[in-house]
Amino acid sequence: MIKDSKDKNMKKLIDKGYEFRNFIGFDIRSKENEENPNEMIIEGVACVFDKPTVLFEDEGIEYKEVVDRKALDDTDISDVIFNYNHGGRVYARTRNNSLSLAVKDDGLHVRIKLDSEDEGHKELYRDVKKRLIDKMSYCYIVSDKGFEYDTETHTRRITSIKKVFDVSAVDIPAYDSTSISARSILDLEKAEMKKLESEILEKKKEHRKRIALAIEIERKVN
């Protein structure tokens, strides 16, 4: 349930089509630099390709999502920020080269160079190094018709992401933001799924009626 002002702001973004994904097990870590021990580098993977993830469960059905390997081929990543829990202070940015993004075979990799003279940066780096913060998340918007939906497996495949807005270090992955975001997108798809299932049921009923009629006609003829 969305309670505080940050979550309300996130809900406003979700209503505009922004999506947030927090993936458990998608790693963020500090990187030691032997040549320059004072340099503070964080690396991680914000998005992994071709790995189905369960977003939420509804009425016993698991709704999943998978990001296609080509989903970031035409994505705008020209101005992306790195922050903490999708809010507050900006620690790095692609525009000043303190944040770099690389689309690789397995997903979207990030590299952040923190300011070694800034106490806030030192604190974040220390928490990452101690594994107190060890997850990544990202905020994005899907292109028009940039997804497919499989009604049998209840899986949404993202085929084209229009823009990535931020990558974020997260402490406890914010399930609410992921779930609400996913549900808002899947609502129409679920409605379409139910419509298709209803149509299938109607076709089965009509088929049974035709079989029953054919049997009745054959019985009368004989």
What is the DSSP secondary structure assignment for residue 143, as one 8-state letter? P
**Sign of the alpha-carbon torsion through 175, 177, 183, 186:** negative
> For residues 182 and 23, what is the distance between their CA atoms, to the nearest angstrom?
13
Task: For the beta carbon of residue 172, count every other beta carbon within 10 angstroms.
Answer: 10
pLDDT of residue 136: 80
Task: For the beta carbon of residue 101, count every other beta carbon within 10 angstroms.
Answer: 19
pLDDT of residue 36: 67
Mean pLDDT over all residues of the chain? 78
> For residues 103 and 53, what is the distance between their CA atoms, to the nearest angstrom?
19
**Sign of the alpha-carbon torsion through 4, 166, 25, 143:** positive
pLDDT of residue 215: 78
Specify burial of residue 67 (Cβ count, 10 A radius: 0-12, 13-18, 19+): buried
pLDDT of residue 158: 93
pLDDT of residue 189: 56
pLDDT of residue 52: 87
pLDDT of residue 2: 41
Which single residue is written with the structure tokens 């705008």? Answer: 76
What ranges do the domains of the chain cover?
5-186
pLDDT of residue 174: 44
pLDDT of residue 218: 72
pLDDT of residue 151: 78
Of 20, 43, 211, 193, give the one whose Cα is nearest residue 129.
Answer: 43
> For residues 49 and 70, what is the distance between their CA atoms, to the nearest angstrom?
9
> For residues 87 and 124, what is the distance between their CA atoms, to the nearest angstrom?
14
Of 215, 116, 95, give the one whose Cα is nearest residue 166.
Answer: 95
> Is residue 20 within 8 Å of residue 167, measured between CB atoms?
no
Q: Which phi and psi (to 5°) does residue 24 adopt? A: -65, 130
**Which H or E run includes 119?**
helix 119-129
Of 154, 176, 173, give the one whose Cα is nearest residue 22.
Answer: 173
Residue stretches of the chain with pLDDT short of 70: 1-11, 15, 22-37, 172-201, 221-222
pLDDT of residue 26: 39
Type of residue at 113: K
